[in-house]
Amino acid sequence: MSAAIQRIVILGAESTGKSTLAAALATHYNTIWIPEYLREFVESRQRTPYADEQFFIATTQREREHKSEASAQRYLFCDTSPLMTAIYSEHYFGEVDAALSALAGQHDYAATIVTTPTTPWMPDGLQRESDTVRQQIHARLMRKLDQGNIAHLPVAGTTQQRIGQVEAYLVQRNAD
């Protein structure tokens, strides 16, 4: 990773505005963002992934991050990480395979942003289940971040409010 590029990951449960925020931040900072590969996977196959496909999804996400760093300007906004893939694997399949667990443990982002589940829940085809699941995933994510001692910024409000929260957080982190 180029020393000048900071990878900022945006995590959150389904229907919390991760993609919207990643795209808006990329525009705000005149850089690029990496969409969530899972969405492409589901749309191209017209089904949700199986347990044995989780590691492939997570590694594809990371490969796309690394390939995009050369095109980024100062920040590269990442819509999800292997940590979320592991959380969903645990939720839906009851376990996380060793390779995915190891990849998820390499949480090496410059900053972690968490979109809170305060936006209206919206169904989205095969990828979204319910607000109940969204709340469960959010709780699981917060536990994992705390257990991993991963500093993070929870964001809420409109997209513009969230951009302001992230901007202040990044200024503070870069000043420290």
Q: Tell me: the pLDDT tens digits for 18-30?
A: 999 999 999 999 9
User: If we measure between CA atoms, which residue out of 83, 152, 144, 114 comes closest to residue 16?
Assistant: 114
Angle at 109 between CA 143 and CA 146, to 5 degrees: 15
Q: Are 30 and 92 in contact (CB under 8 A)?
A: no
**pLDDT over 90 (residue 149):** yes
Q: Give burial (CB, 10 Å; 0-12/13-18/19+) of 107.
A: middle
| Domains of the chain, earliest start first | 6-175 (3.40.50.300)
pTM: 0.92
Q: Which residues lie across from 160 on neighbouring strands?
A: none
Q: Is the pLDDT of residue 65 over 70?
A: yes
Q: Are 127 and 38 in contact (CB under 8 A)?
A: yes
Confidence (pLDDT) at 131: 80
Please report where in the chains the tokens 């709780």 appear, as a residue.
Answer: 139
